[in-house]
Structure 1
Amino acid sequence: MEVMDMLIDGIDYLELEVNLPYSLPLKVHSRYTREQMLAGFGFSTFEQKSNIREGVAVLKEKNTELLFITLNKSEKDFSPTTLYDDFAISETLFHWQSQNAVRPESGKGKSYIHHEREGKRILLFVRERSEDEFGNAMGMVFLGEARLVKYYGSKPMSITWELVEPIPHYLWKESAKMAVG
């Protein structure tokens, strides 16, 4: 019992169900590979593998957009035009920069600004860096649903998202480091 108490005390985050109007096999705060995320949303199947490589995936039939975010971007892995300034502001607020062509007055920019009115779900997936300490692609933590708080700028737009569930502590510390520099 003492060992169990120690192990329970060591848990610093819980996997949570996400409240969406459709079934999803993924849990908030769990870490997933790109293949697992894409299969979970139906982009990839046994018959066909998805070719999505960008930081955004749109699921039109479910009115959902997935944002794939890498916090610590190196010039080795990212071009100067994709070194976006993404970081946690607090445990529930996240600063994200859109792709370079997005403007507030464009279709994509408007879809972010009016996502709640249009019933569109924005889901965030975040990883600390592209590769883990062994050189393998690092999985992404599913942060869950987010709602727009404010935006500014253009090409790219800077957006502050409010998360329904707070960022797990281990990821919050890493993301806060990215914000400080």
Structure 2
Amino acid sequence: MLATVLTETVLKSDETLQEAADLICAHPQVLAELRQLLDVLADRIEHLQQALSTHPDVPLRVHARYTRREVLAAFANGIELKVPEWREGVRWLPEAQVDLLAFTLDKTSGRFSPTTRYRDYAISPSRIHWESQSRTREGSETGRRYQTHESSGSWVLPFARLTPDDRAFWLLGPATYVSHEGERPMGITWRLAHALPGDLFASFGAAVS
């Protein structure tokens, strides 16, 4: 994850993770600054973070924050450096059998069109309301996967940020399907395996009030 972020504008798209690591290690001043930065960031951890039980080999932790690029790098094969583009709010990773849902709570800015101003909010510390993409029908392949993910063996990981200016998203998952209303978009209620910390629940509520 670190190598992908640090070298995304330096190395070619076909470079390997090892080549990226070698490049970083070749610059002692960068390594020294990273050590200092990690010490500072360690003192700024605000929440008790949980390991991702659904994917033990993926280095993500519940209630930590990640960019889209970091999330895709975490699910990568550990050899290739390049990760695909992720610009929409959803991403299905068939190899990992996981739906990634990235959404913004405060949509009052002009960056959202009427068709992308989805109603996403926290119902309670353990439940969230989320709307699918506007073209998703309940009987479509994607719609059925959302509804039957438990029985079919796939997972759902929601990621939330407060505003479009926030680069990183809080990992809220894993989440389990509870119910839905309508289609195009589907309004889905998800149950979180780990309840939101009090301050996150309060800030999420303020963002959509």
* TM-score of the pair, normalised by structure 2: 0.73
CA distance in 1, matches of 2:83, 2:96: 19
| Contact 1:85–1:97 (CA under 8 A) maintained in structure 2 | yes
> Which deviates more from structure 2 when the two are superposed, residues 108-117 or residues 16-25?
16-25
Instruction: Establish whether residue 162 from structure 1 lines up as the match of residue 162 from structure 2.
Output: no
Q: Which residue of 1 aligns with 2:203?
A: 174
2:88 matches 1:54: yes
Residue matched to 2:180: 151
Give the count of matched residue pairs. Answer: 166
**Alignment gaps of 5+ in structure 2:** 1-44
Looking at structure 2, the residues matched to 83 and 178 of structure 1 have their Cα atoms a distance apart, in angstroms, of: 14
Q: Percent identity?
A: 37
Out of 105, 110, 113, which is 2:147 matched to? 113
| 1:63 is aligned to 2:97 | yes
**How far is 1:58 from its partner?**
0.9
Are residues 53 and 157 of structure 1, via their aligned partners in 2, closer, same or farther at CA, if it must alter by over 3 Å?
Answer: same
Question: What is the CA distance between 1:149 and its match in structure 2?
Answer: 0.7
Alpha-carbon distance in structure 2 between the residues aligned to 1:68 and 1:15: 19
User: Structure 1-normalised TM-score?
Assistant: 0.84
| TM-fit CA distance, 1:53 | 0.7
Structure in which a larger fraction of residues adopt helix: 2
Range with bigger deviation, 74-83 or 143-152? 74-83
* Paired AA for residue 31 in structure 1: R
- Written as runs of structure 1 = structure 2, the 5 A alignment for 1:9-24 is 13-24=47-58
SS at match of 1:81: coil
Q: CA deviation at 1:45?
A: 7.0
CA distance 1:43–1:97, change in 2 (3 Å): farther
Structure 1 unaligned blocks of 5 or more:
1-10, 132-136
* Kept in 1: contact 2:69–2:86 (CA 8 A): no
Q: Describe the SS at the equivalent of 1:162.
A: strand
Runs of 4+ in 1 over 6 A off after TM superposition: none
CA–CA separation in structure 1 for the residues paired with 2:188 and 2:78: 29
Q: Determine which structure has greater relative contact order: mean sequence separation of CA pairs < 8 Å that are 6+ residues apart, divided by chain length.
A: 1
Distance across 2 between alignment mates of 1:38 and 1:19: 17
Aligned pairs (5 A) from 1:28-43: 28-42=62-76
Q: Which amino acid aligns with 1:114?
A: T
Q: Tell me which structure has the larger Cα radius of gyration.
A: 2
* Alignment partner, residue 169 of structure 2: 140
